[in-house]
């Protein structure tokens, strides 16, 4: 298998992490062999002396040539067989899913030899963003990529609001429709347009999402996720066909939804742990997914502990007045000079339309060091700049981009409320990490590496994330941004049946810690709602910088 | 299990045969245990310390209490679980299909204990008639019965015409719609009305039909059945859910279509062989199904040979001008006196509307002995009766019922053409039997018993069937009419998983003989197109009677 090329990745780091994860899979003796296979068959022609039925003939050939004595198929395939066999002069390619010893299920049958035309799709369903890629399963190459916002957003910014909406009237159906019909199918169709692949050729589908996204994807009642004792309907799904969910791939395609761990640690985390490779190292790895909400996993090949933080959607620009996803037009980097004037960098060099997660971190960090905000995050009054203003209620606002400059509808700015929201988000992450390590009797010195995953944006400035107190103040070389590890985990699962088994092992063995019942958590959270922290001694490198800047 | 009572059967003979078949199943060590089960479960209530998902909780309980570690379900069931568990206070009944060791598939979940409410349906899909029964799977009792004509009849009287229709435009969809939506579903709904059972409670469905009916039931292209080398698309179907075929039972119900043997020996014959018990005897049994077309099986516990005769639909009243199914209003018995006047017996003591198969046999036999027809079946001219008339082409007609007598739209009569059709039908059966036995190097003296099954009617007069040369002239005590053996086989399959395995064994082991390629067959057929036969020496008892009557 040729695999993905470096240019398929959003950063060199992402590529390196992927190559490492892939190599770890290979060095464990696992194969890059997909669980869906194609085989070309030349059947014996029927005659009066060999007049067994078409399906028995197919089964006999498969038994003799592929060593499978138990061959299954569903009615739509059976319906295709009689005419197709004859049109193809009994030379056909079957697409099938071997499972167990000597068992396989035929999910498609085509005329002639099409063994080199086999495609799969990986989809990461985020609360805010959905990202997909179309993969050539024959050689592992990436054929197309697409991403967009999750159309469910109109029904609520975070999972709690979505769940609440789902319990009302047709809410559940609307949310299910929004993610499948209004989000995933348009992404698939865009990739088909870009690549010329037909949807019938897509015979493998792997997707991951947090537990709420997973429930809504399947159209499952999810209200019990948010009510104590926080019980998901499932963590591992039964066999589901694409046609049952109206997903626009081959209708017989098996939809593999990556198993969740608990109500607030979903399949996206399982997939992320797989692609991070932390399951195969002796180092203590801290894995942080900064999507809508934040999930944390700590461990190595021996153990994996996980928890969820109620961080909300701020890392993907949610609940921030000018926030947006890390896509074209998003301000992804910010620096502010001593004159309070900002220097910005915009994704795609487009007009600045808003700020994504990495931009907000930079902005808050710069405002702190420039003295625009105090360490509670409040905008300081009486600064000599036209970029700061206050409304009638005394809520401060810093204007990053004046609308006139780019002919925009409104200024791109950040308010006291936005900053407060973001501080609570970063505090949730920091206190989550602290509580999880405390639970294990460990501290930050025992962390060998931190992997940051999620939709926060490729330009995440790790140093700034430490300076605002989101990440612990450890050697920054130990901290890496690894991009959309969930999508990468989906890709690995698509390409390797062994990786899929590993994934299920990971999901089964991860230990979930419920932060909300931990008596320490709330204290930790409150202490972290400060820049960088109420106890500056926890951030010695930041203390040094702040001392210098005063 | 209490089983079916004698009053559930159309005749004492049918009951006796059934009791014997059932007892043979029991004495072989097979159980009357359905393959669909219900189990009542009281799950542990979830709490913060035991917060596994609903589906895992269900699986854990099933593993601990039912010893199944592999539990499957489909999406619609998963969708029911979260709310239903809580409404039921975690006390539920699952309907499931155990298969293999430690595996089961949940097909329904209900509140509380409903283990004693479990129902199944057996359906015999004949080319002309469809018969169904609703069974209490808890105790084996028959809850309701219904039958009607097959609504496909408007598209053709026999399988060849149906197949030809199915290849035109939407023909296949129309035929599939006719048998399911216009025939089976109305029968089901009638039984639900009669019994008060809800369709959701019906969780098992067993059906049998000839190979063409089986193909059309599944909506499968069937043209290759009628073209040399006569290849069916399948003989054994894959897993099919009721919802895939829009059958009005519980949508998750597994549709079990009894396996066929070859293009012209279908699942109705496999089912008939099962219920006849011939698979468990040392006697040589000749099994004859007189439906639309006739199928023959000869054998015992050691071997089973089968063939199909192109008899057409005459035994069910098809292609006979006043022919009809054996239902209310059908003349089922006829005697003709020396004055050419008939005495008739009508099903349900209703107005005579037409003649069913058993009535036609009686009628032709009586006409022969009364001298109304000659031994070629031609109506004799110049008889002193107003019951015989001829049209301008010289086609004779015998009026069985004058329309004025019962205020009918037309006379009930039989014509030379009808008689000719019927003689060809009976000749097909007789020559089929002869050819099959010849193939085995055997003759009629080696037949220990003949079972006649099929829609010919309960009043079949065995003696008359021999007299017209349809059945061989052997001791008539050896010949028994066993009713709808296909429906009975479906019932046994519904009630016993062991019987179902036996059935599959029967289908696998039956050897099909293709009569159309046997050089002897055509000669045998031509010789049999006579009353009783061109060689009267083959019918010594009939010869004696004819000699007497002259």
Distance of residue B439 Cα from the nearest chain A Cα, in angstroms: 16
**pLDDT (average), residues A141-161:** 93
Q: In this predicted structure, what is the pLDDT of residue B301? A: 95
Residues forming beta bridges with residue B119, ordered by sequence position:
B136, B202
- Does the B282-313+422-484+492-545 domain belong in CATH 3.30.420.40? yes
**pLDDT (average), residues A101-115:** 96
CB < 8 Å from B in window 346-365 of A: none
Q: In this predicted structure, what is the pLDDT of residue A293? A: 80
Query: Considering only alpha carbons, which residue of chain B is nearest residue A167?
Result: B83
Chain B interface test: which of A53, A80, A235 (most B C-beta within 10 Å): A53
Cα→Cα distances B142→A168, B250, B258, B492, B550, Å: 44, 19, 20, 12, 50
Distance of residue B241 Cα from the nearest chain A Cα, in angstroms: 9
pLDDT digits (tens, 9 = 90+) for A369-393: 999 999 999 999 999 999 999 999 9
Instruction: Provide, as residue numbers in chain B, all residues whose Cβ is less than 8 Å from the Cβ of A62.
Output: none
Cα→Cα distances B61→A238, A538, B52, B233, Å: 17, 48, 12, 42
pLDDT band per the 50, 70, 90 thresholds, residue A25: confident
Is there a contact between B53 and A233 if contact means CB atoms under 8 Å apart? yes
Instruction: Provide, as residue numbers in chain B, all residues whose Cβ is less than 8 Å from the Cβ of A222.
Output: 82
- Considering only CB atoms, A229 lies closest to which of B48, B56, B72, namely B48
User: Smallest Cα–Cα separation from B538: which of B451, B424, B444, B453?
Assistant: B444
Q: What is the CATH number of domain B37-111?
A: 3.10.20.880
Structure tokens at B334: 């006829």
Q: In this predicted structure, what is the pLDDT of residue A327? A: 86
Query: Considering only alpha carbons, which residue of chain A is nearest residue B86?
Result: A224
Please report, for chain B, how many H helices and E strands are present, in that order.
17, 21
Structure tokens at A517: 């019942």
Cα→Cα distances B398→B338, B368, B382, B385, B391, Å: 15, 12, 13, 10, 12
| ∠ CA A219-A225-A227, rounded to 5° | 135
pLDDT band per the 50, 70, 90 thresholds, residue A550: low
Q: What are the start and end residues of each CATH 3.30.420.480 domain in chain B?
A: 6-31+118-267
* Range in A138-147, A182-191, B114-123, B465-474 with the lowest mean pLDDT: A138-147
**pLDDT (average), residues A407-424:** 96
CB < 8 Å from B in window 67-126 of A: 72-75, 78-79, 81-83, 86
CB < 8 Å from B in window 121-160 of A: none
Is there a contact between B244 and A55 if contact means CB atoms under 8 Å apart? no
pTM: 0.92
**pLDDT (average), residues A536-541:** 96
Residues 6 or more apart in contact with residue A141 via CB below 8 angstroms = A2, A3, A4, A5, A135
Q: In this predicted structure, what is the pLDDT of residue A2? A: 46
H-helix or E-strand containing B69?
A: none
* Neighbouring C-beta atoms of residue B518, cutoff 10 Å: 18
Instruction: Provide, as residue numbers in chain A, all residues whose Cβ is less than 8 Å from the Cβ of B53.
Output: 231-235, 260
Chain B interface test: which of A54, A167, A218, A246 (most B C-beta within 10 Å): A54
pLDDT band per the 50, 70, 90 thresholds, residue A27: confident
Burial class (CB in 10 A: 0-12, 13-18, 19+), A443: exposed
Is there a contact between A238 and B56 if contact means CB atoms under 8 Å apart? no
> Which of residues B5 and B387 earns the better pLDDT score?
B387
Q: In this predicted structure, what is the pLDDT of residue A319? A: 85
- Does the A6-31+117-267 domain belong in CATH 3.40.640.10? no
- Considering only CB atoms, A229 lies closest to which of B51, B219, B262, namely B51
How far is Cα B496 from Cα B274, in angstroms, rounded to an integer?
12
Q: In this predicted structure, what is the pLDDT of residue B550? A: 61
Chain B interface test: which of A231, A256, A265, A519 (most B C-beta within 10 Å): A231
B514 part of contact set with chain A, CB < 8 Å: yes
Q: Is B191 within 8 Å of B142 (Cβ atoms)?
A: no
How far is Cα A502 from Cα A68, in angstroms, rounded to an integer?
25
Residues 6 or more apart in contact with residue B152 via CB below 8 angstroms = B127, B162, B175, B178, B179, B183, B216
* Neighbouring C-beta atoms of residue A393, cutoff 10 Å: 6
CB < 8 Å from A in window 51-70 of B: 51-56
CB < 8 Å from A in window 228-257 of B: 228-240, 244-245
pLDDT band per the 50, 70, 90 thresholds, residue B292: confident
pLDDT band per the 50, 70, 90 thresholds, residue A4: low
- Considering only CB atoms, B220 lies closest to which of A72, A82, A245, namely A82
pLDDT digits (tens, 9 = 90+) for B149-164: 999 999 998 899 999 9
Q: Is B77 within 8 Å of B58 (Cβ atoms)?
A: no
> Which of residues B293 and B502 earns the better pLDDT score?
B502
**pLDDT (average), residues B252-260:** 97
Superfamily of segment(s) B6-31+118-267: Domain of unknown function (DUF4445) (3.30.420.480)
pLDDT band per the 50, 70, 90 thresholds, residue B312: confident
Chain A interface test: which of B238, B270, B511 (most A C-beta within 10 Å): B238
Beta strands in B318-421 (DSSP E): 330-336, 342-346, 354-355, 388-390, 396-401, 412-415
Tokens 């010695």 appear where? A540
A221 part of contact set with chain B, CB < 8 Å: yes
Fold of A281-313+422-484+495-545: Nucleotidyltransferase; domain 5 (3.30.420)
**Does A1 have pLDDT greater than 50?**
no
Instruction: Provide, as residue numbers in chain B, all residues whose Cβ is less than 8 Å from the Cβ of A220.
Output: 78-79, 82
Q: Is B94 within 8 Å of B260 (Cβ atoms)?
A: no
Distance of residue A241 Cα from the nearest chain B Cα, in angstroms: 9
CB < 8 Å from B in window 7-46 of A: 46
pLDDT band per the 50, 70, 90 thresholds, residue B225: very high
ipTM: 0.92
Q: In this predicted structure, what is the pLDDT of residue A548? A: 84
**pLDDT (average), residues B369-377:** 96
Q: What are the start and end residues of each CATH 3.30.420.40 domain in chain B?
A: 282-313+422-484+492-545
Chain A interface test: which of B46, B85, B233, B270 (most A C-beta within 10 Å): B233
- Considering only CB atoms, A220 lies closest to which of B82, B234, B240, namely B82
* Neighbouring C-beta atoms of residue B15, cutoff 10 Å: 17
């Amino acid at each position: 298998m040729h695999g993905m090329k470096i240019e398929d990745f959003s950063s060199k780091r992402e590529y390196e992490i992927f190559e490492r994860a892939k190599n770890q899979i290979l060095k464990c003796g696992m194969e890059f062999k997909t669980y869906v296979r194609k085989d070309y068959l030349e059947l014996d022609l029927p005659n009066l002396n060999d007049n067994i039925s078409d399906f028995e003939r197919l089964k006999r050939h498969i038994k003799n040539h592929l060593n499978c004595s138990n061959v299954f198929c569903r009615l739509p395939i059976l319906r295709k067989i009689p005419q197709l066999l004859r049109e193809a002069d009994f030379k056909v390619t079957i697409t099938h899913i071997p499972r167990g010893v000597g068992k396989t299920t035929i999910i498609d049958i085509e005329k002639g030899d099409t063994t080199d035309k086999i495609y799969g799709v990986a989809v990461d369903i985020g609360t805010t963003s959905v990202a997909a890629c179309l993969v050539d399963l024959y050689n592992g190459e990436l054929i197309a990529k697409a991403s967009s916002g999750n159309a469910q957003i109109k029904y609520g910014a975070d999972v709690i609001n979505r769940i609440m909406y789902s319990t009302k009237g047709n809410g559940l159906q609307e949310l299910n429709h929004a993610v499948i019909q209004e989000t995933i199918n348009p992404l698939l169709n865009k990739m088909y347009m870009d690549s010329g692949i037909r949807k019938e050729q897509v015979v493998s589908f792997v997707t991951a999402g947090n537990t709420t996204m997973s429930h809504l994807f399947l159209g499952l009642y999810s209200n019990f996720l948010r009510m104590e004792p926080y019980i998901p309907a499932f963590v591992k799904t039964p066999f589901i066909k694409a046609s049952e969910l109206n997903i626009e791939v081959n209708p017989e395609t098996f939809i593999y939804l990556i198993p969740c761990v608990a109500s607030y640690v979903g399949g996206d985390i399982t997939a992320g742990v797989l692609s991070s490779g932390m399951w195969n190292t002796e180092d203590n790895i801290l894995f942080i997914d900064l999507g809508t909400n934040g999930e944390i996993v700590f461990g190595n090949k021996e153990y994996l502990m996980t928890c969820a933080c109620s961080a909300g959607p701020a890392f993907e620009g949610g609940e921030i007045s000018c926030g947006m996803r890390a896509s074209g037009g998003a301000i992804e980097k910010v620096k502010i000079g001593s004159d309070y004037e900002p220097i910005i960098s915009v994704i795609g060099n487009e007009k600045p339309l808003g700020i994504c997660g990495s931009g907000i971190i930079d902005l808050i960090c710069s405002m702190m060091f420039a003295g625009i905000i105090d360490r509670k995050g409040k905008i300081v009054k009486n600064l000599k700049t036209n970029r700061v203003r206050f409304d009638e209620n005394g809520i401060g606002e810093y204007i990053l981009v004046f609308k006139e400059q780019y002919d925009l509808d409104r200024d791109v700015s950040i308010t006291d409320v936005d900053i407060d929201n973001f501080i609570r988000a970063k505090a949730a992450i920091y206190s989550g990490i602290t509580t999880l390590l405390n639970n294990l009797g460990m501290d930050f010195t025992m962390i060998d590496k931190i992997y940051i995953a999620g939709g926060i944006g490729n330009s995440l400035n790790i140093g700034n994330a430490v300076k605002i107190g989101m990440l612990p103040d450890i050697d920054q070389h130990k901290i890496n941004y690894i991009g959309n590890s969930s999508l990468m985990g989906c890709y690995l699962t698509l390409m390797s049946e062994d990786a899929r088994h590993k994934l299920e092992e990971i999901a089964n063995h991860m230990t979930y810690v419920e932060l909300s019942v931990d008596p320490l958590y709330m204290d930790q959270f409150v202490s972290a709602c400060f820049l960088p922290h109420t106890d500056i001694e926890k951030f010695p490198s930041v203390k040094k910088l702040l001392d210098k800047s005063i």
